[in-house]
A and B are shown apart, each in its own frame.
Chain A
């Protein structure tokens, strides 16, 4: 074992051992047996690589390549020959499907509109009404910046929680992290009252607080409000808060599929980085129903890139590296003591498989 990975493992252990804040979860929704996370393909991840998926110079996405990546990814995950059979395992004509994108760094870093559009087309192909496909994010300005309308099929809806239905006052996690006045984080009301299913489409990114932001972070901090309160000064509670939020019903049961968009990513200063210097192009997509297993592999992608760039590890907890002022420009500084251990923590909640040896990972190269 390299010293670096040994340190990472030790730090993850230490991080997980810290007692979690006291959470009070309020929800009237019951778990749906066998539904949602980690779903029918626990511990299984399919990664599809395609060098032609995006042009690094223009950042233009090659739509036919993306369509083929999705077809290969979903069929490999389910074992079906016809991708319609694969999609039909998850969705039918009665569903109202929320596609949870990530566009907090739009337009430079986001779930790509062409990827999201292709997912919507596949849903429609198995009978989901276009009007019942709802691409959503919390903040309106981010959705405007991402401009999903430019790519999606006619009839598909684009909404922000802020402008559409707001948040569900009866479904929330109550916790005081730092003595803040408002101790509640409420679930997006579309999740509780409109969606029957959710497809989670995160973007591969480094994250200043959680280490990386993949499936878990996108579905947790992205489907609840008042979450930034979990960070203060150099301390962040993402370690336990991300998994706790992702575990709340009905979010857990309704999130049935994760498709991680790794055509373009961010290797430092995430999640909002606008600095093109920190973008990179993994040119891949990951497919699964197990967000923990997918995020575990995401750590390796971000770590490998950071290592190649000579940047400190996402596991680095050194106090001397903390420098919020320089974080946006210096990849050898941290804004917070990062908590990539949130992924293992979520595994402990039953959300999926963290142990790399237990993950069944198939890689396909187009």
Chain B
């Protein structure tokens, strides 16, 4: 899990010339083969992959005279391992190879260090190579080391008799690492090989599908405190120290980028206080703000951002939104005695709050408008039949104020912790949180997020950040 080798490799290139390119080593085509009873005790398909060759140091690969159907996979494999590769495709594969190269170019970024659980002291032997092949095949992430590294879970030197059956040896290594500590686990696919790179904050997961056909509903578990997963797959679950998600369909190759969740803090207050909707009030002065500064699909939103501040007491969570505006888009005939359905069609500040980290699709939505209209909803994206929707009432209260001179409106909320499922509010408690803003008059309506959802809706709990009580 520490930086080892950083390669800046060119994208794979097509080699049309007859002579073999100098300095490049021929590698076999990547393929899957069904070899019943020869692929280890689980009977999973046999894969010819080159990852182990690349990990042990081959940096210039020549995929010569590839069979039909292998070119795009070869390009993906080389790219995933940061190898300088030349590819001789079958003529029929040129369109799919071009498409793959286009994809690789679109995702290309400087390589990050390789992440691994296992260190392999490689003596260059065939057995050591096959052990690495078997580790890679089982998605037991490894890297080659010259001596044991205490930062890795385990370091092995596959030279003795115990390594003579590389498949069994890999299985024993897995037992030593334990599945819970594995950096990556894949479910519902037996022909996908993963490679993980990262810089200690961000990570990039490469998923290479050797099967030759699309894989649906690939389930992925990555160890680490990543709160944001792109390109926004479905069924995201974050639990102690890991994130899980489903890739709906994996064709030949894709990368998944993982980033830490955005973070905000709520400062403790010994006693409850009256709502003022005023950042200059004593209870709000010197409270740090986070900014709703992203387009909800992604990208930075130009202009002055919306600010959000938070405080908490034993019983309540307080939020203060400071919302710059050019013009207000207000609902006619406002009323503040009860929920206003579809308040989100007008100017509002919103917060989504969830306390269930193993069921992130269940959360609560709170909105306030510049004139103090409000709505609160119970949302369950996983079990829509269970959610109470607008029929749910949290008991939260709001206050709003418009400063026309400064062109800022303020909305303040007091939300009972009991309504959020927080049984005991104390320092260190975290809530899964999204802050949002709907503003502008059609057709110049705009939508902003603290943590972009990457979809045309705020309801993307996979992208929630964290609000920590301090």
CA distance A324 to B217 in the complex (A): 33
A169 and B138 form a contact (CB under 8 A): no
Those of A131-176 within 8 Å (CB) of chain B: 166-167, 169-170, 176
B216 and A181 form a contact (CB under 8 A): no
B42 and A178 form a contact (CB under 8 A): yes
**Chain B: minimal CB distance from A173 (Å):** 12
CA distance A136 to B383 in the complex (A): 21
A182 and B216 form a contact (CB under 8 A): no
Those of A213-266 within 8 Å (CB) of chain B: 225-226, 229, 232
**Chain B: minimal CB distance from A185 (Å):** 10
How many A residues face the partner with a CB closer than 8 A?
19
A179 and B358 form a contact (CB under 8 A): no
Asked if B373 is at the interface of the complex by the 8 Å CB criterion, the answer is no
Asked if B219 is at the interface of the complex by the 8 Å CB criterion, the answer is yes
- CB within 8 A of B187: which of A28, A178, A184? A184
Using known A-B contacts A28-B359, A169-B246, A232-B41, determine if residue A179 contacts B171 with beta carbons closer than 8 Å.
Answer: yes
Using known A-B contacts A183-B179, A193-B383, determine if residue A169 contacts B235 with beta carbons closer than 8 Å.
Answer: yes
Report the tally of A-B residue pairs with Cβ distances under 8 A: 52
Taking CB atoms, residues of chain B closer than 8 Å to A186 are: 187-188
CA distance A180 to B186 in the complex (A): 12
Asked if B244 is at the interface of the complex by the 8 Å CB criterion, the answer is yes
Taking CB atoms, residues of chain A closer than 8 Å to B197 are: none
CA distance A169 to B174 in the complex (A): 23
Asked if B298 is at the interface of the complex by the 8 Å CB criterion, the answer is no
CA distance A232 to B37 in the complex (A): 11
Those of B310-327 within 8 Å (CB) of chain A: none
B42 and A179 form a contact (CB under 8 A): yes
Taking CB atoms, residues of chain A closer than 8 Å to B188 are: 167, 182, 184, 186, 225-226
Contact digits for B194-218, partner A, Cβ 8 Å, 1 yes 0 no: 0000000000000000000000110
Using known A-B contacts A166-B216, A193-B383, determine if residue A181 contacts B237 with beta carbons closer than 8 Å.
Answer: no
B382 and A181 form a contact (CB under 8 A): no
Give the nearest-CB partner of B244 in chain A. A169
Taking CB atoms, residues of chain B closer than 8 Å to A180 are: 41-42
Give the nearest-CB partner of A228 in chain B. B43
CA distance A84 to B15 in the complex (A): 74
Give the nearest-CB partner of B42 in chain A. A180
Contact digits for B35-50, partner A, Cβ 8 Å, 1 yes 0 no: 0000001101000000
B237 and A170 form a contact (CB under 8 A): yes
A residues near B, CB below 8 A? 28, 166-167, 169-170, 176, 178-184, 186, 193, 225-226, 229, 232
13 residue pairs from A and B, CB less than 8 Å apart: A167-B217, A169-B237, A170-B359, A179-B42, A179-B174, A180-B42, A181-B139, A182-B190, A184-B187, A186-B187, A186-B188, A193-B382, A193-B383
B residues near A, CB below 8 A? 41-42, 44, 138-139, 171, 174-175, 179, 186-190, 216-217, 219, 235, 237, 244, 246, 358-359, 382-383
